Structure 1
């Protein structure tokens, strides 16, 4: 299954409206590999390449754990990049894709049109999905 199909399944499972998968390339940056949903052009420009440590995806990679925001539209934590608000989404969650050797090789994330608090079980499920994606990607690259 390709990244886009995997992402569509994940969005359905989370009842989300949008999602992205980014993979870390040799330059150490997160590069957009798949996206589902409507993203305004300025957002697409902002999410094509993301530095580790910046925005929800970059923070998930840096922290090696899920990053959640209940409402992107009202959040003042500084975790989300300014362009995130222009998606119109509210609840968002990102998780690192951890390779079998423990390296962060990418990030997966989904967002909902309404405010949402993600449960511990949902966060664990997204972490597991990220591990499975990374493992399948490693097998395809071998």
Structure 2
């Protein structure tokens, strides 16, 4: 693991803990794709599926495309089409994918967090998570 990857993973571990999550991911933008740069408590079968996420696919790809958080109350039962089938293997229910921005305001990545229980996130909680996610180290 590179020093940058270790730094990002350490940041992600702390961010998950600070916000009561059980797992999460960091994707960095590379053209029209999101490339996985860190994962915490995510099964290897899922990390393989989300290693490269195209714009508009899955929660991270939709957060990138719409430049807005994408959330679900329950990964296992979500039927919106926002959750990719592989994500159901994560031992969690609620999840949110949050776009992060560069200095020019363009999406530079997406941070995801998963929660053990089912929950709906209100605008206040999404705003707090979004603000905190902007601190993710650049890839």
Same fold (TM over 0.5): yes
> Offset at 1:111?
0.3
SS of the equivalent of 2:135 reads helix
Aligned match of 1:97: 100
Higher relative contact order by CA 8 Å / sep ≥ 6: 1 or 2? 2
Match of 2:60 among 34, 57, 70: 57
Match of 1:14 among 19, 27, 39: 19
> Offset at 1:83?
0.7
Aligned match of 2:3: none
The answer for unaligned runs of 5 or more in structure 2 is: 1-5
Does the aligned pair in 2 maintain the 1:95–1:109 contact within 8 Å?
A: yes
1:122 aligns with 2:125: yes
Q: Which runs of 4+ in 1 moved over 6 A?
A: none
> Offset at 1:14?
1.7
Matched length: 134
SS of the equivalent of 1:62 reads helix
The answer for unaligned runs of 5 or more in structure 1 is: none
Aligned match of 2:29: 24
Does the aligned pair in 2 maintain the 1:73–1:88 contact within 8 Å?
A: no
Give 1 or 2: higher helix fraction. Answer: 1
Alpha-carbon separation, structure 1, partners of 2:132 and 2:102: 11
Match of 1:2 among 2, 7, 16: 7
Alpha-carbon separation, structure 1, partners of 2:132 and 2:56: 21
1:71 aligns with 2:80: no
TM-score by length of 2: 0.89
